[in-house]
Amino acid sequence: MSRILIAAAGGRVARRVAAALCARGETPRALVRDAAKARRVLVDDRGAALPVELVTSDIAELDGMRRALEGVEIAFLALGSSLDQVALEKGFIDVAADTHLPHLVKLSAAAAASDAGSRRCCAGTLQSSRISPRAAFPTRSSARRPSRTS
Ligand SMILES: NC(=O)c1ccc[n+]([C@@H]2O[C@H](COP(=O)([O-])OP(=O)(O)OC[C@H]3O[C@@H](n4cnc5c(N)ncnc54)[C@H](OP(=O)(O)O)[C@@H]3O)[C@@H](O)[C@H]2O)c1
């Protein structure tokens, strides 16, 4: 059984996380709302289907979320930006807390403000759960990273 869940796995970032995990020998569970799109995009660099366990559900559907989170030890959440994003992420975290998810990694955005609505709401929801969270903050571009020689 998969111990890793990638939620919204058909997204541009999440599909690369799925490919990287599969390249390391993992068989993650991939939660998608469009199975046909997922089969198209969840492929390796040769176009071969990734060995993921596909679960089809909208993140707003609680039963689908419970199925997706069953037995999972770590979830990666990379939901697309929309007006519903905060509500959907909070709903996901609530189901994850109910199903005793131990660890959650939530993809944030580059240079997200510390008081951004999504960050504040998710932090509050996570604090009242027993989930161990990690927020991944992407950098804007590698050119902005400090030089190793300086
Ligand atoms: N792209 C980047 O370089 C980048 C960099 C840093 C941070 N981010 C942040 O990371 C997050 C993801 O970015 P992305 O570019 O990977 O997004 P994306 O390509 O737009 O993918 C988002 C995914 O979320 C899924 N989704 C949206 N609503 C859903 C719902 N109700 N139920 C189930 N799935 C749902 C979409 O499903 P469908 O495929 O069915 O539409 C899609 O696969 C965003 O919050 C973005 O701000 C992105």
The CATH code for residues 4-144 is: 3.40.50.720
What ranges do the domains of the chain cover? 4-144
For 31, 103, 137, 149, the CA distances from 42, given in Å and listed in that order, are 11, 23, 23, 38
Pocket flag, ligand 1, residue 111 (CB < 6 Å)? no
Residue 89 scores a pLDDT above 80: yes
Protein residue closest via CA to atom 43 of ligand 1: 11
Q: How far is the CA of 107 from the centre of ligand 1 (A)?
A: 10
Contact between residue 58 and residue 82 where contact means Cβ atoms under 8 Å apart: no
pLDDT band at 129 (very low <50, low <70, confident <90, very high): confident
Q: Under DSSP, is residue 52 helix (H, G, I), strand (E, B) or coil?
A: coil
> ∠ CA 36-39-43 to the nearest 5 degrees?
155
Summarised one tens digit per residue, pLDDT across range 54-76 is 999 999 999 999 999 999 999 99
Summarised one tens digit per residue, pLDDT across range 31-62 is 999 999 999 999 999 999 999 999 999 999 99
Q: For residue 128, which amino acid is it?
A: S
Burial (0-12, 13-18, 19+ Cβ within 10 Å), 31: buried
- Predicted TM-score of the model (pTM): 0.86
29 forms beta bridges with 5, 53
CA atoms within 13 A on the CB side of 55: 25
Q: How far is the CA of 6 from the centre of ligand 1 (A)?
A: 12
User: What is the chain's alpha carbon radius of gyration, rounded to the nearest angstrom?
Assistant: 16
Q: Under DSSP, is residue 60 helix (H, G, I), strand (E, B) or coil?
A: coil
Pocket flag, ligand 1, residue 12 (CB < 6 Å)? yes
pLDDT band at 139 (very low <50, low <70, confident <90, very high): low
Burial (0-12, 13-18, 19+ Cβ within 10 Å), 82: exposed
